Structure 1
């Protein structure tokens, strides 16, 4: 089995899927790009697999958002740290546990382009969704 970390929480609760289920998946993809981590991964010296959204929420709540940014993203000149943190903040909004708290994609685009204020993410996704063998 593979990691099902791209699937929104409502998928696992057998609740109806919503348009914003895709927003959740987009948020996970953004986190993978910015952090350089797979959706589910094992790193040296880690006993448990790391789920990228859990890792991002943990550092965000600790006020360590800059630590989320993969060095290769910065060294290639693709992003400034502030832009990368903006991407993380938007991604966390996209991964809110409650689908009605997630932004619409049109709003996501405006936030990423700096044309719309970005709200503070509130609700950490609480369920672990890595299953089976995890590849590095």
Structure 2
């Protein structure tokens, strides 16, 4: 849920949709359920906080779901870029989130 909804916003916004898309990106690539806590350093955190800390520690490859086929290889730079885009989408501040057009522009060159 976007932070602004927790603060009382009740109307749908494009920025909230971008936040939700970022959550979906994390869920797809990590295999983690966004509404279940994740244990990190002995503390339960949400998927966004977990992802931010993992990225800050340069552990993006450890974030990838073990069930994703590595056949053909995953390129580390592409994985990092993908997670960084998801991180932009899930920014705490609405104004810092990219538009969906910008997200498309950033994701499009990454081979899938």
Partners of 1:101 and 1:30 lie apart in 2 by 17
Larger proportion of helix: 2
Show the counterpart of 1:110. 105
Partners of 1:36 and 1:114 lie apart in 2 by 23
TM-score, normalised relative to structure 2: 0.79
Q: 1:10 aligns with which of 4, 10, 26?
A: 4
Show the counterpart of 1:24. 19
Paired residues, number: 108
Kindly report the root-mean-square deviation, in angstroms, between the aligned alpha carbons of the 2 structures.
Answer: 2.6
Partners of 1:28 and 1:79 lie apart in 2 by 21
Contact 2:18 2:99 in 1 (8 A): yes
TM-score, normalised relative to structure 1: 0.67
Which consecutive unaligned segments of at least 5 residues does structure 1 have? 1-6, 116-136
